[in-house]
């Protein structure tokens, strides 16, 4: 490991979680630099330890890196030049259904896995965009995905072509805590 890389890793240890969470941002333009296998393994390992309902672990992740695979994803959504796309699917056979209203845990599970992955990527200076608005039918066909596996999100990874967004942007891009958090009972601000 180079001294520069070591220093970067050490400086990450000094970071509190809010700092890392603020540093993560959506990247919609990547350069072609491949993600080192060691970093991809790390990022996927962080996704692996994410919590899921009843620990069912419904996530099934297809890693698309070959140009032909990226071109297949491109048919379903823009890929922003990403050299590495995770097709995050959920296995319907491994989901928890809430008996009171039949709400399925799958999307929550996948969201948590994706967030773990995006934060781990940012820790390694790798950018990401989570995409939900892709055409799942195209992804299903192009990647031979069976009926009981649902393509839920795309995570496009890579090094930002134009840097990361400012950590301070949340001052204007996020609602105030008092608009989203209430204590003891539901209460909307006037």
Q: Which residues bind ligand FMN (CB under 6 A)?
A: 25-26, 28, 129-133, 165
Report the half-sphere exposure of 65 (CA within 13 A, side-chain side): 10
Least distance in angstroms from the C-beta of 67 to ligand FMN: 22
Least distance in angstroms from the C-beta of 110 to ligand FMN: 9
Rounded to an integer, what distance in angstroms lies between the CA atom of residue 159 and that of residue 27? 9
Least distance in angstroms from the C-beta of 4 to ligand FMN: 27
CA R_g for the chain? 18
Nearer to ligand FMN (CB atom), residue 89 or residue 129? 129
In 3D space, the residue among 44, 147, 135, 49 whose CA is nearest the CA of residue 93 turns out to be 147
Least distance in angstroms from the C-beta of 133 to ligand FMN: 3
Nearer to ligand FMN (CB atom), residue 168 or residue 188? 168
Burial of residue 70 (number of CB atoms within 10 Å: 0-12, 13-18, 19+) = middle
Least distance in angstroms from the C-beta of 25 to ligand FMN: 4
Helix (H) or strand (E) run with residue 139 in it: helix 136-142
Rounded to an integer, what distance in angstroms lies between the CA atom of residue 87 and that of residue 83? 13
Q: Is 45 helix (H, G, I), strand (E, B) or coil?
A: helix
Least distance in angstroms from the C-beta of 41 to ligand FMN: 24
Nearer to ligand FMN (CB atom), residue 35 or residue 129? 129
Nearer to ligand FMN (CB atom), residue 80 or residue 95? 80
Nearer to ligand FMN (CB atom), residue 62 or residue 131? 131
* Residues facing 64 on adjacent strands: 85
Nearer to ligand FMN (CB atom), residue 48 or residue 170? 170
In 3D space, the residue among 23, 50, 37, 35 whose CA is nearest the CA of residue 123 turns out to be 23
């Amino acid at each position: 490991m180079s001294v520069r890389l070591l220093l970067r890793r050490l400086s990450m240890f000094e970071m509190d979680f809010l700092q890392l969470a603020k540093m993560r941002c959506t990247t919609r333009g990547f350069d072609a630099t491949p993600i080192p296998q060691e970093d991809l393994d790390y990022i996927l390992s962080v996704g692996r330890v994410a919590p899921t309902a009843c620990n069912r672990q419904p996530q099934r992740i297809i890693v698309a890196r070959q140009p032909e695979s990226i071109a297949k994803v491109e048919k379903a959504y823009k890929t922003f030049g990403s050299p590495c796309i995770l097709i995050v699917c959920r296995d319907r056979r491994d989901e928890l259904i809430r008996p009171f209203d039949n709400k399925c845990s799958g999307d929550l599970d996948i969201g948590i896995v994706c967030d773990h992955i995006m934060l781990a990527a940012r820790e390694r200076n790798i950018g990401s965009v989570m995409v939900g608005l892709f055409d799942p039918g195209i992804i299903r066909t192009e990647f031979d995905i069976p009926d009981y596996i649902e393509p839920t999100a795309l995570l496009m990874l890579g090094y930002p072509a134009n840097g990361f967004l400012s950590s301070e942007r949340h001052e204007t891009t996020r609602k105030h805590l008092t608009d989203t958090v209430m204590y003891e009972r539901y209460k909307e601000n006037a």
